[in-house]
């Protein structure tokens, strides 16, 4: 079943309705649903779908020849073209009488086997395809390759794309389409465990309890997701052991380069290189406090490193410390030790969900004002001379600010949370201030009374966020 990706599909369809050459560059981390999106797009179209393989140039040419042959209605083994130029010429001929979609999936594998393919495509586009009704899709999982070797200034293909699309994991609302009848709190936990990756969500059961889903998918040595993080790293990096150590350090609370270096035994300069690669893979993110200007960001000492992928965050936080138990069939014992820490793990997940909700409401014009940017904030409190933080700050160039607090806990949120939010909002100068508290379960009577007397205070439950 294909769900979500409405805006992405709409963009690709708009491009398809135009007459003439198009080149869409589609990329994103593994398992995020790139191939599924392409297959949904070409479902009712004349399309040649070729997947590059991690093999020799000749074997890739053999496979490409077979794809062209199959498109023409051939049966059995295809005759192999003498080279890729001849194969592209055949594609050109097929596009003479109809609009044709040519998909090259896993383009980085093809380029690795045949480094000249980008230059060959450049010439083909410039001299032949730019005047044809050809819709080219270049797709890849290696984000650094796609950004540098396809989209980058140094690439022969620079300037040949007509659109680019970096596919992100599902939002909680797209995950809700995946499990339309699921109780929202359970959905949120499964979303957090899988990081919104469609393939991982598909491993979860609609009927099982959270306990059953975790033990079956994460605490079983034979389960797909038990090996997934290490398999992904082995596919993407040359030194998986070192990357493992860095991810483990970040997952367990090391957020500064110095802390990560101390935890792993690596020099700070080496840590920075490894962290940059992990950012490129979409596993780690470098975060700055809201309000840091772009010019200051690269030099900011306030920046921290966090795990962007919440499946990695869950796995590296909990699995290594219970590895022996899991390997010896003690999944239930391991889970009983992990389970009490799940609300704390879900805190960051809930912050991400709240930001997604805010951006959605912002786009639909349902907030007190339209903001330009949003994120977390941390810094010094000049009144107490201590460090403090806000879960969410959103604002615009007019100086309007929205301050948010996110509480994933079973207890009703009380007045003290609201008072602290108002206090922290007072640390900022703003032309307008709005305050918003997001709660898993709801609010105490005292909190509701306090908010009722102030039009700038907004209380939102998780149930309200998930209901449209």
Q: What is the CATH classification number for the domain harbouring 404?
A: 3.40.1350.10
pLDDT in tens, 311-324: 999 999 999 999 99
**Contact predicate 114/87, CB 8 Å:** no
Residue 462 has pLDDT above 70, yes or no: yes
**Mean pLDDT across 53-63:** 97
13 and 156 share one domain:
yes
pLDDT in the model for residue 210:
95
Within-domain flag for 348? no
- Per-residue pLDDT at 296 exceeds 70: no
**pLDDT at position 206:** 87
Banded pLDDT at 63 (limits 50, 70, 90): very high
In a domain, residue 354? The reply is no
Give the per-residue pLDDT at 238. 87
Does position 288 have pLDDT exceeding 80, yes or no?
yes
Say whether pLDDT at 147 is over 60: yes
Q: What is the pLDDT of residue 291?
A: 87
Q: Does residue 377 surpass a pLDDT of 60?
A: yes
Predicted confidence band of residue 3 (pLDDT cuts 50, 70, 90)? confident
CA–CA dist 62, 60 (Å, integer): 5
* Cβ atoms within 10 Å of 365's Cβ, excluding its own: 8
Look at the block and give the residue holding tokens 């398999």.
Answer: 231
Q: Parallel, antiparallel, or unpaired: how do β-strands 386-395 and 400-407 relate?
A: antiparallel
The band of 75, judged by pLDDT with boundaries at 50, 70 and 90, is confident
Whether the predicted pLDDT of 295 surpasses 60: no
Q: Do 158 and 231 have their domain in common?
A: no
Average pLDDT rounded to a whole number, residues 273-285: 92
Q: Are 157 and 193 within one domain?
A: no
* Residue 19 and residue 144 share a domain: yes
Q: Which residues contact 76 (CB under 8 A, 6 or more apart)?
A: none
Residues 36 and 78 in one domain: yes
SS3 labels along the chain: CCCCCHHHHHHHHHHHHCCCCEEEEEECCCCCCHHHHHHHHHCCCCEEEEECCCCCHHHHHHHHHHHHHHHCCCCCCCCCCCCHHHHHHHHHHHCCCCCEEEEEECHHHHHHHCCCHHHHHHHHHHHCHHHCCEEEEEEECCHHHHHHHHCCCCCCCCCCCCEEEECCCCCHHHHHHHCCCCCHHHHHHHHHHHCCCHHHHCCCCCCCCHHHHHHHHCCCCCCHHHHHHHHHHHHHCCCHHHHHHHHHHHHCCCCCHHHHHHHHCCCHHHHHHHHHHHHHCCCEEEECCCCCCHHHHCCCCCCEEEECCHHHHHHHHHCHHHHHHHHCCCHHHHHHHHHHHHHHHHHHHHHHHHHHHHHHHHHCCCCCCCCCEEEEEEEEECCCCEEEEEEEEEECCCCEEEEEEEECCCCCECHHHHHHHHHHHCCCCCCEEEEEEEECCCECHHHHHHHHCCCCEEEEEHHHHHCC
For residue 148, give the CATH number of its domain.
3.40.50.300
* For residues 189-204, average pLDDT: 94
Is 330 in the same domain as 181?
yes
pLDDT tens per residue, range 88-126? 999 999 999 899 999 999 999 999 999 999 999 999 999
Q: What is the pLDDT of residue 297?
A: 56
257 in the same domain as 119: no
How much is the pLDDT for 299?
Answer: 57
- Is residue 352 assigned to a domain? no
Mean pLDDT of the chain: 94
Q: Is 460 part of any domain?
A: yes
pLDDT confidence bin for 235, thresholds 50/70/90: confident
338 and 194 within one domain: yes
Residue 298, pLDDT > 90, answer: no
The pLDDT of residue 143: 82
333 and 377 both lie in a single domain: no
* Kind of pairing between the strands at 386-395 and 373-381: antiparallel
Cross-strand partners of 26: 139, 165
Confidence of residue 209 (pLDDT cuts 50, 70, 90): very high
90 and 158 both lie in a single domain = yes
* pLDDT > 90? residue 145: no
pLDDT of residue 125: 97
Total domains in the fold of the chain: 3
- Of the pLDDT bands very low, low, confident and very high (cuts 50, 70, 90), residue 24 is very high
- CA–CA separation, 395 vs 429, rounded Å? 12
Give the percent of the chain with pLDDT over 90.
88
Q: Full-prediction pTM beyond 0.85? A: yes
Q: Do the domain assignments include residue 116?
A: yes
**296, 326, 342 — which closes off a domain?**
342
Torsion sign over Cα 349, 351, 354, 355: negative
The verdict on residue 305 lying in a domain is yes
Residue 245 within a domain: yes
Last residue of a domain, one of 279, 309, 342: 342
462 within 8 A of 184, measured Cβ to Cβ: yes
Residues 105, 139 contacting (CB under 8 angstroms): yes
Indicate which CATH number applies to the domain containing 303.
1.10.10.10
Structure tokens, 448: 């509701």
Task: Give the residue numbers spanning the domain of 410.
Answer: 367-466
Mean pLDDT within 43-61: 97
Residue 147 sits in the same domain as residue 211: no
Residue 316 and residue 214 share a domain: yes
Tell me the mean pLDDT in the region 125-147.
Answer: 93
User: What mean pLDDT is predicted for residues 339-347?
Assistant: 95
pLDDT of residue 293: 61
Q: Is 350 domain-assigned?
A: no
């Amino acid at each position: 079943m294909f769900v979500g990706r409405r805006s992405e599909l709409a963009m690709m369809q708009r491009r398809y309705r135009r007459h003439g050459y198009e080149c869409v560059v589609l990329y994103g981390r593994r398992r995020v649903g790139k191939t599924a999106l392409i297959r949904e797009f070409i479902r009712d179209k004349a399309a040649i779908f070729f997947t590059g393989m991690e093999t020799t140039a000749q074997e890739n040419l053999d496979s490409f020849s077979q794809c062209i042959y199959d498109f023409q209605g051939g049966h059995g083994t295809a005759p192999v073209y003498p080279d890729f130029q001849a194969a592209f010429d055949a594609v050109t001929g097929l596009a003479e009488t109809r609009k044709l979609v040519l998909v090259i999936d896993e383009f980085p594998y093809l380029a690795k086997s045949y480094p000249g393919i980008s230059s060959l495509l450049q010439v083909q586009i410039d001299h032949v395809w730019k005047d044809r009704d050809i819709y080219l899709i270049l797709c890849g999982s290696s984000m650094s390759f796609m950004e540098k070797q396809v989209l980058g200034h140094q690439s022969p293909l620079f300037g040949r794309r007509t659109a680019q699309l970096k596919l992100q994991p599902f939002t909680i609302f797209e995950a809700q389409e995946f499990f339309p009848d699921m109780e929202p709190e359970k959905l949120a936990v499964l979303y957090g465990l899988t990081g919104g990756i469609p393939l991982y969500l598909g491993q979860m059961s609609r009927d099982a309890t959270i306990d059953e889903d975790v033990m079956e998918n994460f605490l079983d040595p034979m389960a797909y997701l038990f090996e997934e993080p290490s398999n992904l790293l082995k596919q993407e990096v040359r030194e998986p052991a070192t990357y493992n150590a860095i991810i483990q350090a970040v997952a367990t609370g090391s957020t500064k380069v110095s802390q990560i270096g101390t935890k792993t035994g690596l020099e700070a300069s080496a840590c920075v290189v490894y962290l940059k690669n992990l950012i490129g893979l979409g596993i780690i993110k470098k975060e700055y406090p809201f309000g840091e200007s772009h010019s200051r960001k690269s030099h900011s000492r306030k920046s921290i490193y966090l795990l962007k992928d919440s499946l990695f965050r869950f796995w590296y936080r909990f699995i290594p410390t219970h590895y022996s138990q899991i390997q010896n069939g003690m999944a239930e014992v391991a889970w009983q030790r992990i389970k009490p820490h799940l609300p704390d793990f879900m805190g960051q997940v809930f912050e991400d969900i709240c930001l997604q909700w805010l951006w959605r409401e912002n786009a639909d014009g349902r907030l007190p004002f339209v903001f330009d940017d949003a994120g977390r904030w941390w810094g010094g409190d000049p009144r107490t001379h201590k460090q403090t933080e806000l879960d969410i700050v959103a604002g615009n160039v007019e100086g309007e600010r929205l301050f948010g607090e996110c509480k994933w806990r079973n207890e009703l949120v009380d007045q003290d949370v609201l008072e602290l939010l108002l206090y922290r909002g007072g640390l900022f100068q703003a032309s307008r201030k709005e305050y918003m508290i997001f709660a898993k379960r709801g609010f105490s009577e005292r909190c509701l009374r306090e908010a009722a007397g102030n039009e700038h205070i907004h209380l939102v439950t998780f149930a309200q966020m998930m209901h449209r």
